[in-house]
Chains A and B, each alone.
Chain A
Amino acid sequence: MSAITLDRVGKRYGAGAAAVTALDDVTLDIDAGDFVAIVGPSGSGKSTLLNLVAGIDTASAGRVHVLGHDLGALADDARSDLRLRELGFVFQTFNLFPTFTAEENVAWPRRFRGDSWHEARRRAADALAAIGLDASARGRVPAELSGGEQQRVAIARALVNEPRLLLADEPTGNLDSETTATILELFARLHVEQALTVLLVTHNPAAAAHAGRQVTLRDGRVAADVRGDARARGARS
C-alpha cells in the first residue's frame, strides 16, 4: 500500500524572472514500511520535497498524497492534525526548546494529543528509554546535552505520538561520524521494530546506505531511483 505518492509535483519560489524552481515534475511512490533515502547535492530540492510531504509547505503544481490524504485538498488545520497524529519530523538542527528539559521536550506533543501531563511525561520517559538516552539526562536542558543526545531527544519527540511516517531532514548533518553511525543505526532499528515508513533526506552516502531505497534528486528532478537489491548489484558490479 502506498504511504506517499507524489504525482508530477513542482515547487517554485518567487515569480517572474526571479522565480526559482526547487522541484520540477517529480513523481514518486513510497510504500508503507519502506526506508527511503533522498540524496542529492545542495540545492537539489531534497528539503523542499520533505517539507511538501510533511505538509509544512504547499506544492505549486501536482498532487501530494500522504497516508491516503490529498494534502492539497486539506485545510491548514487538517494538515496540522495529520502531522500531530501520523507524522514524526526530525530536524537537522534538532530544534529543541532551550528552556525545556529533555523530558519536557518529548512530552509536550502528547499533551496536545489529550494526555494529562503525568501521562505525557510517562510516555516521554518511555520514548527516551527506547532511543537509549540515559535516565540521568532526562532532566537536563539541551545546552547540557551533547549533539548526539540532543538528536536522540529530537527523535524521541518525533516518535512519542506513535506516527506511521517518520521524516528526517539531514538528522546527522551536525554530528560527528561516530555519533552519526549511532543515530543511523537507531533509525534502522526503529524502522524494523516499529514498522515505520522512513523518509530520510541526506547528502551523506553512508547514511543513505542504511536505506532500502535511494532516490537521487538533481536540479529539482528525480535523477535516479534505486532499490536495495539493485543498489547491491550495482555495488558488486
Chain B
Amino acid sequence: MPTPRDTRLAMMFLRSGRLRLALVVVALALGVAAVCAVDVLNRAVLRAFVEVVDAMAGRAALQVSAGGAGLFREGLVHRVARAPGVAAALPVMSATTFAVGGAEPLTVYGVDLLSDQPGRAWGAKLPRLSAEEQRSGTPEPRAVLLPRALAARRGLVPGDALELETPTGRHRYRVRDVVELEGMSRSVGDDLVIMHLADAQQDFGSVRLVNRGDVVLEADADVERARAAIAALLPPGIQVTTPLQRRMDLHRVMRSLQVILWGVAVVAVLLSALVAFDAIATHFEAQAWQAGVLRAVGLRTAVVWRELLKQAAVLGGAAVALGVPAGVALGWALVPLVAVTAAVNYKITAPPAAASLSPWSLLIAACVGLAAALLAAALPAWRAARVSIAATVGLRGREAQAAHERVAWLPRALVVAGAIGAAWAGGRSAAAGLVATGLVLAATALAARPLLAALVLPLQRLLDRVTGPAAPFACAGIAQGLRRTALAVAVLAVGVASVIWMRTVSVSFERSLVHALGGSLRADLIVASTRVVSGWVPAPVSADVLDEVRGVAGVAHVAGNRLADWTFRGAAVAVNAFDPAYFQADAFEKPPLLGARAPDAWARVGRGKAVVVSTSFLLNFGVAVGDRIELETPRGPLALPIAGATLAFVSPGGTIEMSRELYERHWRDPLVNRVWVRTAPGAALPAVREAIAARVGHSHGLRAASAGDMREHLVAQARRAFAPLVVIEGVLLVVALLSVGDTLAASVLRRLREIGTLRALGVRRGPVVRIVLVEALVIGALGLALGAAAGVLLGGLWIHRTLPHLLGWLLAFHFPWARGVVVLLATALVCLVAAILPARRAARLEPAMALRYE
C-alpha cells in the first residue's frame, strides 16, 4: 500500500491539464505570497518603529517628558535625580534636524558634556573635554560629536564643519570628535549628533528648558517604586514612563496598520482558495471516471480520496515554492512604502526599516499554502471518490449527469448571520471588522448558486427577446452545470468585491482629505520648512520668522501655526494652534464648523477662551460641543469649553484647535511649523512668493507654497499611503479573471458533443457561438453585480465602522466610478475572449468529429 508520503501516483495523474493546474498553483501562490509579504512587512515596520522608541531612551529605565512637543524646566530633572532609587538623571534636549544638502533626518541629543552622566545613562564612552573647557565650565560652542558610522558616510573627520538646519536658522558646527557608540548604536542608531545641552537649547528649543530627562536607576532599585517616587515630584502635565510602556503605546498604534495589512492578506487568501477550489474541482471532475476506475479495480473510497488529496498537496507544495520567494520579494519591496504610510498616518518619523527573514514567516506562509490547497481539494476529491462506479466507468470521460442537489440553506444562513453580527461588532474592534470582511466575502461566494438558480428561468425569458434561440440553450447549459457555473460567478464576484472595496476605501480617504484640506488651507501662501520631521509635518522654526515674513512687501496678514502631538485622557491627540490674528481677522477663512456650535466660536478660540475640536475627537472621547475638556499641560491643567467641531486629519485620535498664544504660554513652546500669509490687494502672488523665499528661504530652509500646492502635496502623500493597494487590486482581479476564463473554456470543451449535435441537426456556426457568448455574459454580468454589491457593502462597513475605530478618521463614502468602469470593461473583455475563441474553434469542427469527442 503506498505510504501517505508516496506521491508517485499523484504525479502521474497531474501530467494532464497543465494549464489549469498552473492556474491552481498561481492562485495558491498568491495567497502564500500575501501572507508572507504581510508578515515580513509587519515585523520589519514594527521593529523599525520600536527601535525609534528605544532610540529615544537608550538604556534609561525611565523617561521624564511633557508629551511630544512640550518643554519643561531643566531643574526638574535635577530634582528627579534626588529621588530614591535613582542613580542618575540626564536632562536632554532632543530634536530632529537635517544637514544642509542632506535628505535623511538626524537626531540631535543635547546633553551636559561637562558631566559624566551621559556616559552613565547611555553606557557609552564619550571623549573627555579639554582641560581648558573643564576649567572654564563652558564647552566649545557648537562643537558636536558624531558616531563613527555617520562620520564615515559623510566623509567627516574631527575638525570638519557640519551645517545643520535648525528652527533658528542654519548654523555651522565643528566636528569635535568621532565616537564609538558600541551597544548604544543598536538602539539609538547612527544618525545622531551629540552636542552640549546649552547649544541645543539655544538652537532648537529655549534656554533652560528641555524636552526629556533620561533616568537610570540603581542596580537594586524597584522600577515601579522608583517610578511612583518620581511621579510624586512632577507637576501636572509632566509624566514619567518606562520604555516598555512606550513600546506598548507604539504597539497599539502599529496594531491598526497591522490589522489593515492582515485584512488585505485575508482577502488574498480567500480569493486564492476560491480560485483553487474552482480549478481543482474542474480538474477532479475531469478525472471522475478515473476515480471510478480506481474504485472498480478495488481501491477503497478513503484511499481514492487520499490519492486525490495528494495531488492537491503536490500543487500546494509548488505554490509554496513559488509564493514564498515572491512574498518575501514583495514584502522587501514594500517595506519602504509601508514605513512611509505608517509615518504619514501616525505622524512619526519614518525610520530606515530593513526587512529580514524570519523562519516563522516562512512556516506560516507554507502552512497557509498547503492548508488552502488541501481545503480547496477536500470536497471535490470526496465527491470524485464517491462517484457511482457503474455510472462513471461507462462514460469514459464524459461528464455524468449530476444528481440534483438542493441548495444547502443552513450553512448559508449561518454565514450571513455571522457576517451581520461581525459587521455590527466591527465598530467596536478591529478583529470583528476583519471577521466581518471575511464572512461578507464568504457569503458573496455562497450566494452565487441560489441567485443563479433563481435567475436562470427569468433570464431565459428576458434573453429570448434579445438573443433569439441561443437563450434557451445557454440557460440550459447553465442549469445543467449549475454548481460549476455558480463557482465561476462566485470567484468573479469575490475578485470584483475585493477591488471595489479597496478602491472605495482609498478614494473615500482621498476625497475626504481633499474636502477637509479645502476647508482648512485657506490662505494665499503657506510658508513652511522644506523638511518634514514626522510623517508630513514640516520641521518647526522659530516664531521670529513671522516678523521676517511680515516685513516682506506685498504681505498684508501673517499668522503662525504650530502642530504638536499631545495626549488627552491617555490617548494621542494633536494640537493645532494658530495666532489670534488667524481667528479674529477676516483675512483668513476658517474651516466650516459642523453641527452644533457656540456663538462666535472662532473668536472665542482666538481669545483663548475655548477650543474647536475635530469630529474624530468627539467620536473617540465621547464628548460634545459645549462640554469642557481639561488638558494636562507643562504649566498645569488647562480647562476649556468646546465651541465647535470641524473635519480635520491632523491626528487619528483627534485634533484640538486653539490660540497659539495660549499654547505657547502653557506648553512653553515658541516654535511654529507653518506661517499663513494673506497678500495685499493688488499684490502679485508670484512676486510675493519670491520675496519671501529671498528673505527666509536660505537662512531658515523655508519655502512659500500656494494653498493649492500644499493641498496637492498632502493629497499626493495620501495617495502614496494607498499605493500598495493598487498593485494588490490588480493582482486579485487578474487571478479572478483568469479563473473565470479557464472555467468558460472548459465549459466549451465539455459541451463539444452537444455542439456537434446542434451542427449535425443544421444549426449554423453563428448561433452556436452566440450560445456560448450568452452563457459567458450571464456569468460576467451576475459576477459583476454580486461583486459590486458586496464591494459597496464592504466599503461602507470599513468607512463607517472599522476605519473610525482603527484609525480614528471619519470619512465620507465615495464610490470609485472610474475603477468600477475599468473592472466592468475588463470583465466583459475576458468573458468574451475566454468564450469566443474556443466557441469559434468548436463551431468550426466537423460535426462528426465533435460528436465523437469524449
Contact = CB atoms under 8 A, between A and B. Distances in A.
Which are the 7 A-B pairs with shortest beta-carbon distances? A84-B298, A83-B298, A99-B15, A56-B389, A93-B396, A57-B390, A51-B390
B301 interface: yes
B453 to A, nearest CB: 23
Contacts of B15: 99
Interface stretch (B289-297, B519-527, B619-627): B289-297
Interface in A64-121: 76-77, 80-85, 87, 89, 91, 93, 95, 97-100, 104, 108-109, 111-114, 117
B396 A95 contact: yes
A89 B390 CA distance: 12
Given A57-B389, A57-B390, A81 B301 contact: no
B723 interface: no
A95 B298 contact: no
Among A85, A91, A112, the one with the most B-chain Cβ atoms within 10 Å of its Cβ is: A112
Interface of A: 47, 51, 54, 56-57, 76-77, 80-85, 87, 89, 91, 93, 95, 97-100, 104, 108-109, 111-114, 117, 157, 161
A54 B296 contact: yes
Contact of B297 (A57, A98, A109, A114): A109
A84 B16 contact: no
A83 B294 CA distance: 11
Interface in B296-310: 296-303
B297 A81 contact: no
26 contacts: A47-B394, A51-B390, A54-B296, A56-B296, A56-B389, A56-B390, A76-B300, A76-B301, A77-B300, A80-B299, A80-B301, A89-B296, A89-B297, A91-B296, A95-B290, A97-B13, A99-B13, A99-B15, A111-B2, A111-B9, A112-B1, A112-B298, A113-B1, A117-B8, A157-B297, A161-B298
A22 B7 CA distance: 40
Interface in B100-132: none
A80 to B, nearest CB: 5
Nearest to A141: B15
Interface of B: 1-2, 8-9, 12-16, 289-290, 293, 295-303, 388-390, 393-394, 396
B168 to A, nearest CB: 78
A97 B12 contact: yes
A93 B732 CA distance: 42
A234 to B, nearest CB: 33
A100 B293 CA distance: 14
A99 B509 CA distance: 54
Contacts of B299: 80, 84, 112
A211 B290 CA distance: 30
Contact of B300 (A80, A89, A95, A111): A80
B295 A80 contact: yes
A82 B295 CA distance: 11
A180 to B, nearest CB: 19
Nearest to B303: A112
Contacts of B13: 97, 99
Contacts of B290: 95, 97
Given A89-B296, A95-B290, A99-B16, 13 more contacts: A76-B300, A76-B301, A77-B302, A82-B298, A87-B298, A95-B396, A99-B13, A99-B15, A100-B12, A108-B9, A109-B298, A112-B1, A112-B299
Contacts of B293: 91, 95, 97
Contacts of A57: 388-390
B300 A81 contact: yes
A87 to B, nearest CB: 7
A84 B389 contact: no
Contacts of B289: 95
A148 B642 CA distance: 94
Contacts of B389: 51, 56-57
Nearest to A76: B301
Nearest to A87: B298
A91 B393 CA distance: 8
Contact of A112 (B2, B14, B16, B388): B2
Given A57-B389, A111-B2, A112-B1, A84 B297 contact: yes
A83 B301 CA distance: 13
B311 to A, nearest CB: 12
B1 A98 contact: no
B467 to A, nearest CB: 34
Of B12, B13, B298, B303, most buried by chain A (CB within 10 Å of CB) is B298
Instruction: Choose among B9, B16, B297, B388 the residue with the greatest number of A CB atoms under 10 Å from its CB.
Output: B297
Contacts of A95: 289-290, 293, 296, 393, 396
Contacts of A51: 389-390
A76 B390 CA distance: 14
Contact of A104 (B12, B301, B303): B12
Contacts of B2: 111-112
A85 B297 CA distance: 9
Nearest to A48: B390
A60 to B, nearest CB: 13
A157 B293 CA distance: 11
B5 to A, nearest CB: 13
A95 B388 CA distance: 15
A84 B15 CA distance: 25
Contacts of A97: 12-13, 290, 293
Contacts of A100: 12
**In this complex, which of A82, A97, A113, A117 has the most chain B Cβ atoms within 10 angstroms of its Cβ?**
A97
A111 to B, nearest CB: 6
Contacts of B302: 77
Nearest to A77: B300
A156 to B, nearest CB: 12
A87 B299 CA distance: 12
Contacts of B8: 117
A28 B388 CA distance: 25
